[in-house]
Amino acid sequence: MNYPRVATRYSKALLDLAVEQNDLDRISSDVAVLKEAIKGSEELKSLLKSPVVKADKKQAVLHEIFSGSFSPLFDRFIALLTKNGRENVLAGICEKFEKDVLEYKGILEAEVTTAVALTEADRAKLVETLKKQLSKEIILSEKIDSSAIGGMKLLVGGFQLDNTISGKLKALKSQLVDKSYEAKN
């Protein structure tokens, strides 16, 4: 996913500060709590995005909601964001921060799509193979898509490998269309 430049900058700054102060686990926990709160509340989303509500009011509401829940560092971070008028990208900053923490820890997220669920043995073998090939820890998420027919589609580190039957059929169809177009010329 592409994140706005401002989300990337604030996320990097927060990560650097958390690492510097040896508080990465606590800040990661705070970020996860805030992200879930924003995700689960339309009212909170609307408040953060509202240009009508002043920054100091937003900061007061956030402080009231999360009073004592966050570390002092994260409280100051949120205060800085609202002071700078960046609270509307807070959810994006939280998402980017979680991705940055995984990268910092040498962990890659991979997503596999198959027509039927993988067995535990297949899942373990796939994770081990990816771990050896990429020299990183792997967090694997699974999707079931019956339209894949068979095989699997793997998305890891921004790259996609489509080895599904439906993917191969689409590629074959594309080749045939291209060949038939060339033959007419």
pLDDT at site 185? 56
- Mean residue pLDDT of the chain comes to 91
Q: CB atoms < 10 A from the CB of 89, how many? A: 20
**Which has the higher per-residue pLDDT, 181 or 150?**
150
Mean pLDDT: which of 8-17, 60-69, 152-161 is highest?
8-17
For residue 74, what is the domain's CATH number? Answer: 1.10.520.20
- Given 103, 133, 154, the domain boundary residue is 103
Q: What span, in angstroms and rounded, lies between the C-alpha atoms of 104 and 150?
A: 35
- Given 103, 127, 161, the domain boundary residue is 103
**Which has the higher per-residue pLDDT, 157 or 184?**
157
The predicted-structure confidence for 72-113, as pLDDT tens digits, reads as follows 999 999 999 999 989 999 999 999 999 999 999 999 999 999
Q: What span, in angstroms and rounded, lies between the C-alpha atoms of 51 and 32?
A: 25
Average pLDDT over residues 3-17: 93
**Are 116 and 96 part of one and the same domain?**
no
pLDDT at site 182? 63
**Are 148 and 85 part of one and the same domain?**
no
**Are 154 and 98 part of one and the same domain?**
no
- Please report which confidence band the pLDDT of residue 121 belongs to, taking 50, 70 and 90 as the band edges: very high
- Given 57, 74, 103, the domain boundary residue is 103
- Tokens describing residue 80: 């800085």
pLDDT at site 108? 94
pLDDT at 10 over 80: yes
Total residue count of the chain as it appears in this document: 185
In what helix (H) or strand (E) does residue 71 lie, and over which residues does it extend? none
pLDDT at site 103? 93
Range of the domain at 118: 106-184
- Please report which confidence band the pLDDT of residue 157 belongs to, taking 50, 70 and 90 as the band edges: confident
**Are 40 and 82 part of one and the same domain?**
yes
pLDDT at site 89? 93
**Which residue in 45, 155, 138, 136 sits closest to 94, CA to CA?**
45
**Are 92 and 130 part of one and the same domain?**
no
Distances (CA, A) of 63 to 56, 59, 104, 164, 168: 10, 6, 29, 49, 53
pLDDT at site 183? 58
pLDDT at site 67? 85
User: What total number of domains does the chain contain?
Assistant: 2
**Are 118 and 61 part of one and the same domain?**
no
pLDDT at 124 over 60: yes
